[in-house]
Amino acid sequence: MKNIQERLRALAPAALKGIRRGIEKEGLRVRTDGSLDATPHPAALGSALTHPHITTDFSEAQLELITGVHTSVEACLEELKHIHQFVYRNIGDAALWCASMPCYLPDENEIPIGRYGSSNMGRLKTVYRIGLSHRYGRHMQTISGLHYNFSLPETVWPLPGLRDPNDAYFALIRNFRRHAWLLLYLFGASPAVCASFVKGRDHGLQELKTGTLYSPYATSLRMGRLGYLSEAQDSLAVSYNNLESYTASLYDAMTKPYPPYERIGIRIGRDTADPVDQYRQLATSLLQMENEFYSTIRPKRVTGPTERPLRALRERGVEYVEVRAMDLDPYSPIGISADTIRFLDIFLLHCLLCDSPPDTPREIETFGRTKQQVAARGREPGLRLERQTKTVELRQWGRQVLGECEPIAIALDSAHGGGAHGEALAAAIAAMDDPASLPSARVLREMETRFNGSHGRFALMHSLEHRRTLQLEPLPAGAQERLERMAQESLEKQREIEAADKIPFETFRHQYLSHEQLRAG
């Protein structure tokens, strides 16, 4: 606590008010019967390749909505709401699935992979997704979540004991990985899934109702072994002790061949109508590209149009962190609430301000086991978690972390005025001792009492309610005009990129994936 207080005192109110945040929210387009809307990305939304706020993730049916960077929680949520409203005005009768675990899914090959036009960069993005489908399956890639991007103003560095942004953000990341289980416990909202998602797989779940599977004490199946988990990537003991160790780990993963992926191959070697359909993946390495690394948090840097993220990190350092552990909030029309954002700010500051010793291979293994335990059994009475060489009761550990957060909430409220951060923390403290109040418990309870145990009916009803709410609320004329203009400009930009390409895609692929592109200049 001593070092937390010392570093907190070094953060001026202006620095706390200057926290920068942005949101990337994924969500499936679904039909009114709750099935996947497999039609192409609507042209009225603009180009998925070049639009700064509206794109697709793995599938044509999986929208990704991206805010700009904001120092105000309210402004960030308002922009996210406006983007949702614009989307709903341009996707016909479809709705955005409110849950992280997907709707009823068709067979694997009927899930359309994202297409980004005929430019080399557009083809690269599609082939990358084709690779994901061969490596992990299309069903797994339809899981959706919310990424929270967080940074402090450049003026705060150095803090006591933290020399520069790289040192500080990697300290934050190490502590986040130690305590990320707390976010799964407090905000996990995916305790059940449609049976179509695990068809033909060994899943270990129980049947809640025909067509719905669940785990009684689960918090986040999305973050468990059925979600974004890769046995291949388990061999990556990525260290977050400094920028050099982190980037070296990823460099190896993207440059060394991995035998199981060598067996998949890169090209099928025959003519196809679309050149991308000749490809099975971009590369035979453990990771095709940086984004394939499944981590609960990543150090990030804004990059140029064809700049490799790893090279940008090596050359210019960490600019912000991307939190990837958050389920969609099925009770929010836009997937997250103001209280959740305020808690995330408190939690991330706690991760930054606490002492953060170097991680070790043994501790890294423990992080993974703890995450799996809380994802699958977080609400189990008396659940104990590994902490260093001992075990500790989950609620006891949680109360300790939340208690250490109190001065941070007080400082944020002092900087902003009011008591919103204290209220968000108080709600988390109350939930720590009342598992029945957690989103995962609430979701299961409502499925059983209102929807006869059906995950699909629960999520569809809330999705349609959110659509009505957002359609009924007026979209300000300025926001409507801005997003319409951006959609048209993005289509024009895509055409310009396609017209400017001068080399064959295979040449471009080799150049983009070359080892030189990953090294610092």
pLDDT digit string (tens) for 197-250? Answer: 998 888 889 999 999 999 999 999 999 988 866 677 877 878 899 999 999 999
Q: Taking residues 442-465, what's their average pLDDT? A: 97
Domains belonging to the chain, first-starting first, are 2-300+309-511 (3.30.590.20)
Cα–Cα distance, 317 to 145 (Å, whole number): 26
Is the Cα dihedral 420, 424, 425, 427 positive or negative?
positive
Asked if residues 128 and 288 have their Cβ atoms less than 8 Å apart, the reply is: yes
DSSP-derived secondary structure letter, 288: S
Overall size of the chain counted in residues: 521
End-to-end CA distance of the chain: 41
pLDDT of residue 2: 65
pLDDT over 80 (residue 398): yes
Nearest to 128 by CA among 519, 509, 515, 516: 509
Residue 500 has pLDDT above 70, yes or no: yes
Amino acid at position 463, single letter: S
Question: Residues 382, 393: contact at Cβ < 8 Å?
Answer: yes
Sign, CA torsion 92/115/100/352: negative
Distance CA 238, CA 146 (A): 23
Share of the chain above pLDDT 70, in %: 98
DSSP line for 221-256: GGGSTTSS--TTGGG-----SSHHHHHHHHHHHHHS
* Three-state SS at 341: helix
Report helix, strand and coil shares of the chain as percent, to nearest 5: 50, 15, 35
Query: What's the CA dihedral at 215, 217, 223, 225 to 10 degrees?
Result: -50
Return the axis-axis angle of helices 455-472 and 73-88, rounded to nearest 10°. 100
Does position 159 have pLDDT exceeding 80, yes or no?
yes
CA distance 455 to 107: 19
* Whole-angstrom distance, CA of residue 324 vs CA of residue 316: 22
pTM equals 0.97
Contacts of 110 by beta carbon, 8 Å cutoff, 6+ apart: 38
Model confidence at 151: pLDDT above 90: yes
Is residue 338 predicted with pLDDT exceeding 70? Answer: yes
